[in-house]
Amino acid sequence: MRSGSGITAESVAFSFDGTTYHGQRGDTLAAALIANGVQLVARSFKLHRPRGIMAAGVEEASALVTVGSGAHGEPNVRASDVYLYPGLVARSQNAWPSLRRDIGAVNSLAAALIPAGFYYKTFFGPPSRWMLYERFIRRAAGLGQPPRLPDPDHYGHRSAFCDVLVVGAGPAGLNAALAATLAGKRVILIEQDVLPGGTLLREDVTINGAPGAHWAQYVVARILEAGGRVLTRTTATGYWDDNFVTAVERRVEPGQPGTGEAQVSWRLRCGEVVLATGAIERPLVFVNNDLPGVMLAGAVRELALRHGVVPGRRAVIATSHDEAYRTAFALAALGVDIVAILDSRADPAGPVIAVARARFTVLTDARPLRAWRRGMAMAGLEAQVGGTRQSFAIDCLAMSGGSSPVLHLHRQAGGALEFDAARGAFLPGAGRQRHSTLGAAAGVHDLAALLPDATVVDPLGAGTPPAPGPVWRDEAPGKAFVDFQNDVTTADLALAQREGYVSVEHTKRYTTLGMGTDQGKTGAMVALAQIADLRALPLPDTGLTTFRAPYTPVTLGAFAGPMRGDHAAPLRRLALANAHDALGALWVPAGAWMRPRAYPHQGESLGVASLREARMVRANVGVVDVSSLAKFEIAGPDALTLVAAVCATPVAKLAVGRGRYTVMLREDGMVMDDGTLWRLEETRWLLTSSTGGAARMARHLTYVADVLLGHPRAAVVDLGEHWAGLALAGPAAAHVLAGLTGAPVPAHMGLDAAHLAGVPVRILAASYSGERAFEVHVRRDQAAPVFAALVEAARAAGGGVYGLDAMDHLRVEKGHVVIGAEADGRTTPADLGMAGMLRKTGGYVGWQGLTRPALADAATRRQLVGLTALDAGAIAEGAMLVAREGAEPVGHVTTAAPRVAGEGAIALGLLLNGAARHGDRLLAWSPTRHSTVPVEVGPPLFFDPEGARYRD
């Protein structure tokens, strides 16, 4: 049985690549694998080099595995960031057929053919070149595969406030959180580990007489007792404006099935934020520094002291500062043979050095040059020791090249950085928001200094702060890595510099340095030191890439939370939804609404049903639900002023009781929406507009009123939710409606009040189908009897109900545009053939935009045209209009439909200079739908050009 500060004796079975092993509860997968002697854990991203475990936390760059099976599988999990649970199943990635016999490893041999910048250059080349390489590259280079099944986990969202948020429950964070809680503040302390303690979990120290890890538990208990909140296994992922911090809490481990919430996404608004995020140790650069067995010294210490596990039997410690010496004592206590300590400093001194010299071989002015392997693991090391080279037969190297304070959140908050030349590290400068940084994140490693009120006993003493040694200058031939996850070597950095990708932002894109799941946590500062050396610049002058959120990868489900599937967006059901269901409606989402698309008869396809419904309207009469259209009432002494500002058509002379078609423009002159405007009374208007644009129009009306017109005496009431709208269209519509109301129907574009089925209604005589048509508006709670009466009367007249597709067929045949299809935000009224409708005197939103000279050049404008298929094929919506396949597109198909009156396929489209191209023949070509149809261009009007049918 092992002993360590973080583990209990309970044995836990798990598997890796199909072999069952046993670990102990509290172990990370990394610790348990090492305890079982498994060194080879992964193959590297690009070169397929054998990799083992290098780090002990989220900074692990190499040992990425897939955890869990089936839908619960989670790829790219850091072996050091998943804690054992019974039945944990882990698999290696990026290796086939197995980790040991990985075919992709020939990539190592072919590496000279895929140098840094390969992707970059390929992207700049002709697209065909990328198409050629893509399949090969995607198979060869890769991380884990996400499961293809729906994610079965539940994810929660929580919001919270606090006076003080403390990020990191190491000694500095615990101390700050306890002090703030005792001072009566609302405190939240978050820690990414399952245990509090931070570095205390890997150091042999006592605080107030207790081992460090126990002291940490005691402080957490006191914080909770005093009313504070502690979230473990929770990572602060982003620091945003106004002290808003996001965090993700894992409630079950990766791949672990559970019944409750697997993860909770926290949104924290904080009075002040204390960043006690610690520091990340840096690797040393030498040839084959990526071999299994080469690890960060702090990680080795954590394995030994927290988990009671050792990664080898014969170890060398290689360091540039005092802290890594502690690893020698920790390993020796577990019986590991410390072959030597290599210190790059010429003349290190101090208490820990003195103790070490007494027990171990300490070599100064000494650093690793080259490691080698036997099988898949480290077997030896060649080192430079003063002026000579020495070799060591070892299976473990614990290295430390200094340490990098974790300043991601500080930077995201807008905080400044200051370079400390002695530490070779950036330290936090002035904050921009209300935040401060403590502990190792601020460069303070001395426990006694961090905990001035406690009695700290550290048998090895504090030592000097971590600092890097000399940079690597190719003292031995071979690959020396700076970024382990992306296989970036010192040679790649040099190549980028030679080829002119000098700026660190360019170097990053060129070499992929600092990308991937670890985002350069271990490698970035090492690479900067190399670049600074190559350019002979001080390190801060090389620049620094942006610290973007999230700090660690976040499962997409955690962002979505409960808002997925049917909960992804609110679903809006029509007032008459049940009645439509009773009629056999097939539903289709239209904006946020579900609308009836058609009412197919038994065994009838959607296309056949829609065409039948449309022909029914042309022949007799049909009823369609148009309730989702936006409806605004605008009333008050200044209502005309507001209406005239919003509508681009003449409005002032519209008589009471009459309406007209209108368009509303954006300021740049593009069509924003369209609808009908009705004058109910002298100072009271009704404006209808598109379903999808309803929210935008509501906001636009108040913008024009409050911002442009300075609060005119006019009220805008959004009636969209209050009224249902039912359109009755067809040659028999007037007769049917008159029969139901017992009153004459209003003239075309007239309106009237009436009673229908005993319910008060408003009747608007407007047509969108090309047939005589009426919209019946009724309070939504009184709509059912009106709809029932309309349907019954329409059926009695040989008609019935019709849906959205039939409506579309009818309007295409008449060339009526739809917002979002023809009016796609890039079309002016003139492009849509409506220039003649505009108010000549201007004064409406968008009138100035229409004067932009470029809009007058028809040759550059896509204009509305009608398209008639010249063969039997249906025209594909979205197809390009081209002279021949592969030619530069000159337009596109916006809406396609079958002819209702007659046979064949027609469409509306937007075509460059289209108004002048009637009679031209083109192809409607859609390579993605494998469709090519010859079409003839004509006016956007296929039926009843005189408009005789809809007039009285």
Of 177-185, 338-346, 422-430, 838-846, which part binds another protein (CB under 8 A)?
838-846
Residue window 785-824: x/- pattern of binding to another protein, with contact defined by CB under 8 A: ----------------------------------------
**At closest approach, how far in Å is the CB of 711 from another protein?**
9
Q: What is the DSSP letter of 60?
A: -
Cβ proximity to another protein: between 434 and 567 the closer is: 434
Q: How far is the CB of 149 from another protein (least distance, A)?
A: 31
Distance between CA atoms of residues 448 and 172, nearest Å? 11
> Should residue 559 be labelled a site residue for another protein when binding is judged by CB under 8 A?
no
Task: Select from 139, 548, 699, 929 the one that contacts another protein (CB under 8 A).
Answer: 699
Q: Does residue 702 interact with another protein by CB under 8 A?
A: yes
CB-CB neighbours of 889 under 10 Å: 15
Alpha helices in 9-168 (DSSP H): 29-35, 106-110, 118-124, 127-140
Residues 434, 473, 852, 929: which binds another protein (CB under 8 A)?
Answer: 852
Options 27-35, 41-49, 674-682, 837-845: segment touching another protein (CB under 8 A): 837-845
Q: How far is the CB of 449 from another protein (least distance, A)?
A: 32
Near another protein by CB under 8 A, which window of 190-198, 239-247, 302-310, 389-397? 239-247
Residue 843 near another protein by CB under 8 A? yes
Distance CA 661, CA 678 (A): 9
Of these, 22, 432, 567, 573, which contacts another protein (CB under 8 A)?
Answer: 432
The strand order across the sheet containing 210-211 reads 210-211, 206-207, 456-457
Task: Check: CB of residue 395 under 8 Å from CB of residue 381.
Answer: no
Near another protein by CB under 8 A: residue from 123, 124, 136, 703: 703
Region binding another protein by CB under 8 A among candidate stretches 125-133, 200-208, 700-708, 809-817: 700-708
Q: Report whether 321 contacts 443 (CB < 8 A).
A: no
Q: Select from 361, 841, 848, 860 the one that contacts another protein (CB under 8 A).
A: 848
Task: Write each residue from 242 to 281 as x if it is in contact with another protein (CB under 8 A), else as -, in one continuous string.
Answer: x-x----------------------x-x------------
Give the separation between CA 893 and CA 923, rounded to whole angstroms.
Answer: 10
At 264, is the secondary structure helix, strand, or coil?
strand
871 lines the binding site for another protein (CB under 8 A): no
- Tell me whether the omega of the peptide bond preceding residue 550 falls within 30 degrees of 0, making it cis: yes
Answer for the pair 660, 749: CB distance below 8 angstroms, yes or no. Answer: yes
Span of 675-683, 842-850, 862-870, 933-941 interacting with another protein by CB under 8 A = 842-850
DSSP string of 725-776?
EEEEESTTHHHHHHHHHSSPPPPTTBEEEEEETTEEEEEE---SSSS-EEEE
DSSP per-residue codes, 134-179: HHHHHHHS--PPPPSSPP--EEEEEEEEEEEEEE--SHHHHHHHHH
Residues 6+ apart with CB under 8 A from 937: 865, 866, 867, 911, 914, 917, 918, 919, 920, 921, 922
CB of 273 to another protein, least distance (A): 14
Beta carbons within 8 Å of 742's beta carbon, 6+ residues apart = none
Strands 229-231 and 187-190: parallel
Q: How many Cα atoms sit within 13 Å of 209 on the Cβ side?
A: 0
DSSP symbol at 16 = E
Q: Which of residues 617-646 bind another protein (CB under 8 A)?
A: 645
Least Å from the CB of residue 537 to another protein: 26
Q: Closest distance between another protein and the C-beta of residue 244, in Å?
A: 5
28 Ramachandran zone, left/alpha/beta (phi>0; psi -120 to 50): beta
Binding of another protein at residue 849 (CB under 8 A)? yes
**84/645 with CB nearer another protein:** 645
Whichever of 218 and 240 has its CB closer to another protein, that residue is 240
The size of the chain, in residues, is 952
Segment contacting another protein (CB under 8 A): 586-594, 617-625, 697-705, 803-811?
A: 697-705
Name the amino acid, one letter, at 560. Answer: A
Q: How far is the CB of 406 from another protein (least distance, A)?
A: 23
Nearest to another protein of 699, 951 (CB atom):
699
Least Å distance, CB 566 to another protein, is 22
- Nearest approach, Cβ of residue 340 and another protein (Å): 52
Q: Does 856 bind another protein (CB under 8 A)?
A: no
Single residue of 707, 859, 872, 948 touching another protein by CB under 8 A: 707
Residue 161 sits in the site that holds another protein (CB under 8 A): no
Selected from 224, 851, 887, 927, the binder of another protein by CB under 8 A is 851
Nearer to another protein, 546 or 602 (CB): 546
CB of 2 to another protein, least distance (A): 45
188 counts as binding another protein under rule CB under 8 A:
no
Tell me the H-state helices in 620-767: 639-646, 694-703, 733-741
In the complex, the smallest distance separating the C-beta of residue 717 from another protein, rounded to whole angstroms, is 13
Among 118, 120, 218, 240, binds another protein (CB under 8 A): 240
Q: Does 835 bind another protein (CB under 8 A)?
A: no
Measured from the CB atom, the residue of 267 and 479 that comes closer to another protein is: 267
Q: Of residues 701, 845, 865, 924, which one binds another protein by CB under 8 A?
A: 845
Does 667 engage in binding with another protein (CB under 8 A)?
Answer: yes
Tell me the number of residues near another protein by CB under 8 A: 25
Whose structure tokens read 């946590």?
Answer: 521
DSSP three-state, residue 521: coil
Stretch that binds another protein, among 417-425, 845-853, 909-917, 918-926 (CB under 8 A): 845-853
In terms of DSSP H, where are the helices of 444-489? 447-450
Classify 59 as helix, strand or coil. coil
User: How far is residue 252's CA from residue 675's CA, in Å, rounded to a whole number?
Assistant: 53
Whose Cβ is closer to another protein: residue 222's or residue 269's? 269
- 95's tokens: 């290796």
Query: How far apart are the C-alpha atoms of 106 and 659, rounded to whole Å?
Result: 75
What contacts 213, CB < 8 A, 6 or more positions away? 5, 6, 195, 197, 200, 201, 306
- Interacting residues toward another protein by CB under 8 A: 240-242, 244, 267, 269, 414, 432, 645, 667-668, 699, 702-703, 706-709, 843-845, 848-849, 851-852
